[in-house]
Amino acid sequence: MSELYKYYLAVSVVSVLAGCAVNDVKDEDSAFYSVPVGSTLVLNQQVDIRGDQVAVYVQNGELMQYGEVNFYLPNCKFEIYTMSEQQRTVNPDRFEIVKVVDDIESSALQKSTQLAASGGAMTLGWLDKSYVFNYATLMYLHSEEQKDVYRMTCQHWEDVMDDKYLSVTQMRQAMGEVFTLEIKK
């Protein structure tokens, strides 16, 4: 085997192994940072979930229903398992985050959406629902006292040209004073 061939083989092996290394992003402001399992979500106030619903949303620190949310802005969906005709109350508590999943799903818009862009090539474009996706971080929750609590999903709609998940800072901004996200160190 020639020396040049051995050199290229060694460089290739090192490059492949470097590509397999874990990208351990530590900056909570980064869209590439992932909330670690074992972190805690603290509910700071009582939350009421209407009958025939299993979730309530929070955006800019304000609790709201599905129809009130601007899905293009950071928002979080707090969910329970059980649907009931009666209103349910979730009391202040500390929830352990036992699983975290970053997910991308079609937003399933009902109609075409018009987006404006600045810059040379495209000044105005019509995008159908297949071009807008929901970038979501699903945090599965556990509490010994309130076993019906399911998960917190922090999300926003984003077009495919500028796709990114919410940073921890954006999640906290959406939660406001209603929830506190404590990151495991």
Q: Residues 68-101: pLDDT tens digits? A: 999 999 999 999 999 999 999 999 999 999 999 9
Domain spans in the chain, listed from the N-terminal domain onward: 28-182
Give pTM, 2 decimals: 0.76
In one-letter notation, the amino acid at residue 125 is: G
In one-letter notation, the amino acid at residue 122 is: M
Q: Residues 128-166: pLDDT tens digits? A: 455 789 999 999 999 999 999 999 999 999 877 777 899
Nearby residues of 67 by Cβ (< 8 Å), 6 or more positions away: none
| Burial of 74 (C-beta count, 10 Å sphere; 0-12/13-18/19+) | buried
Q: pLDDT value at position 1?
A: 63
- Find tokens 């921890």 and name the residue: 168
Q: pLDDT value at position 58?
A: 99
Q: Is the pLDDT of residue 6 over 50?
A: yes
Q: Residues 17-40: pLDDT tens digits? A: 545 444 466 788 887 889 999 999
